[in-house]
Amino acid sequence: MKVILQTVNSASVRINDKLVASIARGYLLLVGFGDGDNEATCDLMVDKILKLRCFADENRNINLDIETIKGEILSVSQFTLYANTSKGRRPSFIDALNPSEASRLYDYFNEELTIRYNHHIETGIFGADMKVESINDGPFTLILDSDNLWKKEY
């Protein structure tokens, strides 16, 4: 599982020019799944995301987590995080999880976020042609890879 986490002042998703999701200050999460990912992977990633300290305190030190600032979350499925560009000019997505299983895990991931985080959470629509807009804060962007989360305790 891979997640691109960006702190944002706002973010939104449009499909066919219709606004389907919108948040104020918080996280924009681009979420992708690969072979071997499962519910345990999602649980670990949700825990990591909710405990990360990515927001500045009154002294401009990065010390605050999303709960402390009562931030919002927008989760967007992004299978292209598993693009393999090592050969040729066209990305291969052979490492991405099959769409039906990825959709199921994406739903599970978002349900777990909702259960564990009592603030505003929005999602894109899996497999849709989405137009994502964001006003990044910082910019502050992290790449989270479940392979690395399993190796270390945090």
**Within 13 A of 88's CA, how many CA atoms are on the CB side?**
5
Q: Is 78 a catalytic residue?
A: yes
Catalytic residue among 6, 41, 55, 79: 79
Closest residue by Cα to residue 137 from 51, 45, 24? 24
Q: Which amino acid is at 152?
A: K
Q: Is 6 a catalytic residue?
A: no
Cα-based angle 106, 83, 124 (whole degrees, multiple of 5): 30
d(CA 11, CA 107): 20
* Helix axis angle, 39-51 to 99-116, nearest 10°: 40
Q: Look up 109 and say whether it is catalytic.
A: no
Task: For 58, list phi and psi in degrees, rounded to 5.
Answer: -65, -20
Catalytic hit among 6, 7, 41, 78: 78
Catalytic residues: 78-80
